[in-house]
Amino acid sequence: MNKMLRKLMTLAAPSVVALMLFAAVASAHVTVAPAESSTGAWETYTLKVPSEKDIATIQVDLRIPEGAEFKQYEATPGWKVTIEGNKVSWTATGEGIQAGQFQRFYFTAKNPEAAGDIAWNAYQHYADGSLVQWSGEEGSETPHSVTSIVQSSGNGDSHSHGSADTGDSMSMDEHKAIVEDIDKSSGTSPLLYIALGISLLSFLLAAISLLRGRKE
């Protein structure tokens, strides 16, 4: 019995490792949330930056999509912000984002007046001088985030998550609302469920084959 259990564990190990690696890659993208907003709204966006390498991320550049208008940003300890045209840069004044960590940056932008998708191209700089360009299409190794701008049902400018036009700092309640938006819009990729199903099916078939071999 113990011998068979060891064989089953040996068969399962590659599937588990592959699934863990797939999940890590799938969740390590630079993202901008929420994934949906309304036309003309002052939306509070969240730029989430994980450090995928064994070295620190020291700078992130974000290109504001055409039709959107950058308005404000929330100060983040250990980072300075520079704005050049449609490029907004967060540069570390300290150690940056270490391996295994991520950092969220909050900013407000006014959405385009026309409905449609807007793409957020981001450029991640590491301490060794390497650069990862998050500007590819969906399905690529380094995809950019996309926000769907839907037609607003209200009149005039609307404000998502409040206070962008008052100049006040963001409240904790607003932070919680943003985090909830991230969880809803990010979700778990369907590819992860597919990989899980394939891994479990492979393990099941291997176990059946092993059991049949013992009976014969």
Region 1-19 average pLDDT: 50
**Stretch 107-111: mean pLDDT:** 98
The CA distance from 7 to 185, in Å, is: 41
pLDDT tier at 174 (50, 70, 90 boundaries)? low
pLDDT for residue 15 is more than 80: no
Any residues with CB less than 8 A from the CB of 31 and at least 6 apart, and which?
A: 47, 48, 145, 182, 186
Per-residue pLDDT, averaged over 148-168, amounts to: 59
Helix (H) or strand (E) holding 46: strand 42-50
Residue pair 79/91 in contact by the 8 Å Cβ criterion: yes
Q: What is the pLDDT of residue 152?
A: 85
Distance CA 38, CA 152 (A): 5
Residue 153: per-residue pLDDT: 79
The single residue listed with the structure tokens 């064989």 is 7
Query: Is pLDDT of 171 > 50?
Result: no
Report how far residue 213's alpha carbon sits from residue 133's, in angstroms, rounded to the nearest whole number: 50
Reference 107, options 49, 194, 184; nearest CA is: 49
Q: Mean pLDDT across the stretch 84-103?
A: 97
Lowest mean pLDDT among 36-50, 98-112, 195-209: 195-209
pLDDT of amino acid 16: 44
pLDDT at position 110 is 98
Closest CA to 43 of 160, 155, 136: 160
Assess whether pLDDT exceeds 80 at residue 162.
Answer: no
Mean residue pLDDT of the chain comes to 78
Does pTM top 0.75 for this prediction? no
pLDDT at 186 over 50: no
Q: What is the dihedral of CA 204, 208, 213, 216, to 10 degrees?
A: 180
DSSP-derived 3-state class of residue 169: coil
- Average pLDDT (145-152) is 96
Distance, CA of 158 to CA of 43 (rounded, Å): 8
Residue 206: pLDDT band (50, 70, 90) is: low
